[in-house]
Amino acid sequence: MLIYCGLFTPVVVETSKPPIDSCYIAYKDGEGPYNDVGSYFTESTSIAPMLTQLGIYYDDPEKVASNKLRWAVGCILGETESEADPQVRAAYAKEKYKFMTLPAVKASVNCVFPYINMLSIFIAIKRVYPALASYINERGLKAYPFLEIYKDGYMHFMGPLSNQMEFFTPQALKTEKKMPAVEEELEPEVPSQVEKPTPKPETKLTTEPELEPEPTPELTPELEPEPTPEPTPELKPEPTPELEPEPTPELQSEDSDSDSSFEKVEAEN
């Protein structure tokens, strides 16, 4: 069953004529995970099961948050609006579908994969989209948005190489126009951040405070000599002259009196 659904089918990516020309489509668009758009395919197929169904995917799910992924799902009503069946168009309009014309392009990045059932879609997502991304990145191509076209038992993957913006629905285009505006706001911030370090007067100001050590040496010599000379001369001379002369004469007089008393005693004896 897996083999039948395309598990081992060779994935061939090439640049060639697209699988569709200019066409008039009915669609519903929105934002959200791509995995949730299956119900829209079911609804569109139930309205006109014999028509070619298609999906348009505007964003890379690896770069955009899943709740912001833009998509459109619907079917091809005809090559032009005049060729669309009025009754079929009215049936889609009743279900609140919108209508637009997709442009014709000369070349696109294409891949064809068998479409048997829902399992084929899951296998294709895992195998085809990585091959498309590698092919486009290796060659530096601008192929977007990606279309999935379901017809004749095959899924046709198509990335247009020109007129890309004409594949955007009006709602998706409004969101697309907001994205460059955000980039323009971010761009001037980059030079403004570069300008701040380049004028370097602020770095010079950081070197000028080196002048601050000038006041510090001035304060240190003024404070040091003032306290040191004042206490040393006042304290040292005062105790030395007063204490030394007073004890020496008193001790000598006492000794002389004692000597004289001893002499008198000896004389009396």
Structure tokens belonging to residue 13: 């990516």
* Assessment of whether the complete model's pTM goes beyond 0.75: no
| pLDDT for position 119 | 84
Q: In angstroms, what CA-CA distances link 11 with 134, 238, 243, 246?
A: 12, 112, 117, 123
Rounded-to-integer distance, Cα 109 and Cα 128, Å: 12
227 within some domain: no
| pLDDT at residue 235, as a whole number | 47
Report the pLDDT value the prediction gives residue 179, as an integer from 0 to 100: 54
Cis peptide before 18 (omega within 30 of 0): no
The pLDDT score that the predictor gives to residue 23 is 98
Residue 185, in any domain of the structure:
no
- In this prediction, residue 120 carries a pLDDT of 82
**What is the spatial distance between Cα 107 and Cα 160, in angstroms, rounded to a whole number?**
7
* Residue 201 counted as domain residue: no
Let me know if residue 79 belongs to a domain.
Answer: yes
246 is a domain residue: no
Spatial strand order of the sheet with 23-31 comes to 14-16, 108-114, 154-160, 146-151, 53-57, 70-78, 23-31, 98-102
Two structure tokens written together for 200: 């370097």
158: CATH: 3.20.80.10
d(CA 13, CA 238): 111
How many domains is the chain partitioned into structurally?
A: 1
Q: Is 245 helix (H, G, I), strand (E, B) or coil?
A: coil
pLDDT along the chain (269 residues), means of 10: 63 97 98 95 97 98 96 97 97 98 98 87 91 97 97 95 98 77 35 38 44 49 49 49 48 46 46
Q: Where are the beta strands (DSSP E) in 79-172?
A: 98-102, 108-114, 146-151, 154-160
Q: From CA 113, how far away is CA 7, in angstroms rounded? A: 10
Any domain includes 255: no
Domain range holding 41?
14-170
Within-domain flag for 189: no
pLDDT of residue 8: 64
* Residue 44 lies inside a defined structural domain of this protein: yes
